[in-house]
Structure 1
Amino acid sequence: MEFKILGPIEVRTSLGRPLALGRRKQRVLLAALLLNTGKAIPSRRILDWLWGERAPATAESNLYTYISALRKVLGSPSRIETGSYGYLLRVTPGELDVTLFEDLAAQGSRRCPPDAMTSRSNG
């Protein structure tokens, strides 16, 4: 599976087929989980991100609905874990575009240190 957050949020299957991510708040929820991959996010914080101070009385049940819908979209209920500390999205190495970018940038930095770039442009 591929998760893309550099640009419009997008999820693609291993065969490259894009998945329908649903409503706006559901996409915001996925983006928040992806930006915090591997970390449990308390539901209170998620509610704040989704509604701010204007959360409706049904916000918590709506959150459960969005989580459930995302689990179905992702095809794996275990991808999004629920625990005493909140919600956690499991992403394997190579699935998230931002971490791929960071890894490639780090590789590039190791191969060509910044001072080498400066001396090339001055030469």
Structure 2
Amino acid sequence: MSETTGGMRTDAAINEIEGFLLWEAEKRRARSRAEEFCAGLPWLTGTQRAEVARHYCRDQAELSRDTLERIAARATELRAEYAGVHRALRRRLLTGYAAGTVALAAAVGFALAGR
């Protein structure tokens, strides 16, 4: 197994753990917001409060998931766009380097021929 493969596995595992932890934190925030929301509705019974909190958390999870999917899609678009820009810049740099090398070789050739 190469270092690159192991490194990619490690990166993927770290990303998965980070995603899990971020999602758990989002769920905790949603529960906290649901409790705050229910606290403003003192007439709810315990069962009603639990039901409202459950719906609130489910709606918040759907909203968060939709938002994250949009962000991930945009990140993928940007990655492709930036990769294209990077390829074009690299091509221009290599072309300039090659042209400079040819010009320098020609100048040295002319200088040596003029002796």
Q: Which has the higher contact order (CA 8 A, sep 6+)?
A: 1
TM-score by length of 2: 0.28
Which structure would you say has the larger Rg?
A: 2
Which one has the bigger strand percentage?
Answer: 1
Between Structure 1 and Structure 2, the one with more helix by share is: 2
Q: TM-score, normalised by structure 1?
A: 0.27
